[in-house]
Amino acid sequence: MTKSFRSVIALIMVLALCVTAGLAVIGQAENDKEDFHIKTAEDSTEALSIPDVVKNAGRSIVAIETETKVVYNNRDYYGSPFDSLFGFGFGYGGPFGYGSPYGGGRDSSYTKKAAGSGVIISEDGYILTNNHVISGADSITVYVQSENSKEEQTYEATLVGASESHDIAILKIDAKDLVPAVFGNSDDIVAGEPAIVIGNPMGTVHGSVTAGIISATEHEMTIENVTINAIMTNAAINPGNSGGGLFDQYGHLVGVVYAKSVSVQLEGIGYAIPSNEVLEYAENIINHRDSFEDQTNGSKILLGITITDVTEAIANQYNMPMGVYITDVTTMSAAERAGLQRGDIITEFAGEKVTCADDLNKVKAKQKPGDMVEVVVDRNGKTVKLDLVVPQPTEMNTESR
């Protein structure tokens, strides 16, 4: 009886060890899933030539093309505020060609193509880009340079997740042995040092290179409700560069290209999201793809304007009031209907003073759809008062797709 009991105890212990081992394996698998980290640089002392930076980092940049089916009616067609500033968009026949949203009078559709850039962040196919490059796309195609730069591999990409509030997105392609970018410390860059941009300008020149300097390291700019503490550079940035790489003199990625300035007073200036602001969010999207939530409010009111702050320094230099400078107005938006124009400086909104984008967003958030509010702008030195109808808010997508 005792021998039999001991045998039972031994069997239970063996089973317990098996279960424990199994749980350990599962736990290890879960830990592995949570263990993705972007490759970061060690301290560098030797600067590289621009050709060497391109040689080391060029294969880490991809070209991206998207297709989106657009269903419209000319009575309620609205474009995206990003169309003219980011990426590079074109439809079959274009918005004024066959299938134009400005023709007919009934529901119809056309396929809109757009292009951008991306940064490889893992050997097995994770790619970082701007959310606005791929937002709403029905299909995403990625072009990866091979070791022979004259050849490319083409992949269909899936969206892992995105942060609209930080304007970043993570894609995944079925690939291996890719060359990930090495992230540098964007806090260490200083104005005046070399800057190299690699991307896909106009959606046609894959792996294009431009160079300049870091113009400023902390420039706050807001496009709708997305505020970026951006790196400013005079390295040429054009539509299609969005989502590509801004590299330092050591070949390290210090920024993700974000936008080109369309202000007549800032010609030749572009912006990038600092790598330190991107890194943590990118890793979180991958490691918590099933539970990642974007830290943003539930909805936003889109006026249809692209803006940048007129700071006190700029106001004094150019003899203009502090406020919010409009760099672009979306066709058929609430802003255009109200009469707002590119070059206007918003100084008051709904009876409250506006000196920066944060002021405008706070006042705008208090309004209700359908309200008529007065907008006071400075237009070429003259005060102009306009009536604007507050549009319906656009719901923010905070789910991984």
Return d(Cα 198, Cα 247) in angstroms, integer.
8
Burial class of residue 139 (count of CB atoms within 10 Å of its CB; 0-12, 13-18, 19+): middle
| AA letter at 104 | G
- Look at residues 393, 366, 379, 391 and name the one whose alpha carbon lies nearest to residue 339: 379
Return d(Cα 195, Cα 192) in angstroms, integer.
9
Q: Alpha carbon 124 to chain centroid distance?
A: 22
Q: Answer for the pair 117, 142: CB distance below 8 angstroms, yes or no.
A: no
Strand partners, 4: none
Q: Alpha carbon 18 to chain centroid distance?
A: 47
Q: What are the CA-CA distances from residue 241 to residues 20, 170, 198 (Å)?
A: 51, 17, 8
Q: Answer for the pair 80, 302: CB distance below 8 angstroms, yes or no.
A: no
- Look at residues 291, 308, 292, 247 and name the one whose alpha carbon lies nearest to residue 54: 247
3-class DSSP state of 252: coil
Return d(Cα 276, Cα 241) in angstroms, integer.
20
Q: Answer for the pair 192, 175: CB distance below 8 angstroms, yes or no.
A: no
Residue 20: partners with Cβ closer than 8 Å, 6 or more residues away: none
* Catalytic positions, written as ranges: 132, 167, 242
Return d(Cα 196, Cα 327) in angstroms, integer.
25
